[in-house]
Every structure is written in C-alpha cells, then in structure tokens.
Amino acid sequence: MNRKLREGFKIVRVAENVRSTHSQDGGIVLDILHGQMFRLNFVGSRILELLKQGSAEPQIAEQLAREFGIDRATAETDVREFIETLEKHHLLTVRNGNSLT
C-alpha cells in the first residue's frame, strides 16, 4: 500500500468469508462462515463494491456524494453507519493503520 497512513487510520476490508453479487437493484451478501445472508439496497451494494476495491471511508463518502448528489456530511454519516453494521455482522476485517510497516 503506497499511501501514507495517519495514526488511528482504520483499514477496512471485506472479510475472506464473504461472497457477494451486485445488480442494478442492490446486492446479496453471503457469510459462508456463519451461514448468514444479507440483502443490500443499491447504495449499500455500492459501498461494499468500493470497499472491495480498497477504497477508504473518506473516499467512499466522496464518491457517494458525487454519484448520488448528496452532501458530504450525509455521505460520511451513511458510510460510517453502514461500515459499523457490516463490522457488527463480522463481514469486515478492521485493522489500525499503525500496524502496517
């Protein structure tokens, strides 16, 4: 990873046990480890796709603000809440940016 990481920067990745599919209507997420399935609306599906591409929270919020014509503060709140929900269901792995060398 070439970008500089600040202290406290979270690195969020989709967990290895997650499989997903996306369409114009949203997405389906399968946690093969826990046998759970989740349905996402289009925005949630887009956030998950951006996470899979390696985008960080601020980049995702900026992208959503542009794509959906919403203000940046709303996008940041929505992204943060969605990521917290994914974490709660063990669909993400989260590391502190300080642990990278």
- pLDDT value at position 10? 72
pLDDT of 96 reads 73
Across 26-56, b (16+ Cβ under 10 Å) vs e yields: bbebbbeeeeeebebeebbbbbbbbbeeebb
Q: What's the structural domain count of the chain?
A: 1
| 2 in any annotated domain | no
CATH code where residue 16 lies: 1.10.10.1150
Residue 3 confidence class, pLDDT cut points 50, 70, 90: very low
Within a domain: 1? no
Does 52 map to a domain? yes
Q: What is the pLDDT of residues 17-51, one digit of tens each?
A: 999 999 999 999 999 999 999 999 999 999 999 99
Task: List the domain range (segments joined by +) for residue 35.
Answer: 10-95
How far is the C-alpha of 83 from the C-alpha of 57, rounded, in Å?
Answer: 9
pLDDT tens for residues 42-85?
999 999 999 999 999 999 999 999 999 999 999 999 999 999 99
Q: Could you tell me which residues come within 8 angstroms of residue 95 by beta carbon, excluding any fewer than 6 positions away?
A: 10, 11
